[in-house]
Amino acid sequence: APGQASTSRNTPSPVAIGHVKADVAFMQGMIGHHAQALDMVRLLETRSENPDMKLLALRIKVSQRDEIKFMQDWLRERGETVPSEHAHHAHDFTLMPGMLSPDEMKTLEAAKGRAFDLLFLEYMIKHHQGALVMVDELFKQDGAGQEAMMQAFASDVVADQQMEITRMIAMWRGMQK
């Protein structure tokens, strides 16, 4: 009854909720996903002269690096396999939503100046939207995303990616004028 102590002894406390295989797969996959974003940022550093693009790249670089370190530590602390940041180069890009294909990366590598900036924004928006799909898919799996650190991290990913998508759409529109 409302206001009465629970009599159930089978309900774990929120602190005691652990991780599940889906959490591990999410973190392992997201490391590669973030690593590709860093590959894209490295291209921007040499192919764009736009100071606003350089600031965006710095923000993405700092946040993605910090998140990769968090994910690696999270996996290590739980005794799980920590993939290389470069493992995404050896895997089928279609496995993770938003990942650029090898051909798309080559197209981005070949672009310069304003054409690069527009393509970078288009591809990074797609990439970030893929991360949102990954979080959504995580939370659809039974028991996934329930551990406190996992839930907080996934929620932060959503907030950060949505904010950056909004910023990149505005930048892209501004370049169209």
**Which tens digits make up the pLDDT trace of 157-175?**
999 999 999 999 999 999 9
| pLDDT for residue 90 is more than 60 | no
Determine the pLDDT at residue 45: 92
Euclidean distance between the first and final Cα of the chain, in Å?
61
Structure tokens at 108: 């981005």
